[in-house]
């Protein structure tokens, strides 16, 4: 059993080990955020099972996914649990690994490039920069609290820290409101990176107060990462991915 990170989308960002294992396993159990070109790398006979999840929409509940992995392993299958980004960064890899341990199933973890690092880099946004950010905080835009946003908003409203929000589009209006109420300047640079590292990548840059309206106006759907902090102001100068794509197509 392998719990594997597929990275944020660009197949070239797969680790060497992840790519090798795709040729060796019998079954790949994959999430919604695994890009189609990555799945296409697996040999044709490899069984593919979709166990995707997104905010408020679980195609396969986590408990069933956990048990599926155990059942496949006990049936003698060589199984890859393939997750977008890194399995231990908002990927529920920890939950699945605990279930495997408690079921007596041996496994290996294969880290992947997490979406925060990959998407920010492809958008030209350094997550740290000594003139703008002395640290980074990673949070999810959906928590298990009563309103789905049980976070320390005053603590997160730190102008010296880059804030990266996974799965934040659905609640972006409330997130923006709470950060501003917590003390973060409404004019703080903010970005939404849609389909990051993929050919369809779109990067929207604005400020914290205007971000919800900008996302709505652009009609962003699909995987979207939110980055808030002074480092976002460097995106225009450091943007490189679109030019690289244009060179490949010419």
Number of residues that make up the chain: 250
- Which residue in 12, 26, 31, 236 is the catalytic one? 31
Q: Is 83 a catalytic residue?
A: no
Question: Per DSSP, what are the bridge partners of residue 165?
Answer: 139, 226
Strand partners for 28:
48, 80
Q: Which of 17, 32, 53, 185 is catalytic?
A: 53
| Whole-number Cα distances in Å, 227 to 16, 49, 207 | 28, 32, 10
Burial 71-90 (b: 16+ CB within 10 A, else e): ebbeeeeebbbbbbbbbbbb
Annotated catalytic, 31? Answer: yes
At 3, list the tokens. Answer: 């719990």
Tokens describing residue 241: 């991915």
What is the CA angle 185-189-195, rounded to 5?
135
Phi, psi of 191 (to 5 degrees): -140, 150
Describe the crossing of helices 172-181 and 211-218 by its angle, rounded to 10 degrees.
170
Name the CA dihedral angle for 36, 40, 45, 51, rounded to a multiple of 10 degrees.
Answer: -20
Please report which residue ranges of 90-210 form alpha helices under DSSP H: 93-102, 115-122, 153-156, 172-181
What amino acid positions are annotated as catalytic residues?
31, 53
């Amino acid at each position: 059993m392998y719990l594997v990170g597929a990275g944020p989308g660009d197949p070239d960002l797969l680790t060497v080990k992840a790519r090798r294992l795709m040729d060796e396993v019998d079954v790949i159990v994959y999430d919604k955020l695994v890009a189609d070109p990555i799945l296409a790398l697996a040999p044709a006979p490899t069984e593919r099972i979709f166990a995707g999840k997104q905010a408020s929409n679980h195609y396969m509940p986590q408990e069933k996914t956990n048990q599926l992995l155990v059942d496949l392993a006990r049936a003698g299958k060589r199984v890859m649990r393939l997750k977008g980004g890194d399995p231990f960064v908002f990927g529920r890899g920890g939950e699945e690994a605990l279930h495997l341990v408690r079921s007596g199933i041996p496994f290996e973890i294969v880290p992947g490039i997490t979406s925060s690092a990959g998407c920010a880099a492809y958008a030209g946004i350094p997550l740290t920069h000594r003139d703008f950010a002395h640290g980074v905080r990673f949070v999810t835009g959906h928590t298990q609290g009563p309103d789905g946003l049980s976070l320390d908003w005053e603590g997160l409203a730190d102008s010296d820290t880059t804030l990266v929000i996974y799965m934040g589009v659905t609640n972006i209006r409330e997130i923006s409101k709470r950060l501003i109420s917590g003390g973060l300047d409404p004019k703080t640079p903010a970005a939404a990176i849609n389909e990051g590292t993929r050919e369809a990548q779109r990067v929207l840059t604005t400020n914290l107060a205007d971000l919800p309206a900008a996302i709505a106006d652009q009609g962003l759907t699909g995987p979207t990462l939110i980055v808030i902090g002074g480092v976002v102001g460097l995106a225009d100068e450091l943007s490189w991915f679109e030019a690289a794509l244009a060179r490949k197509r010419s």
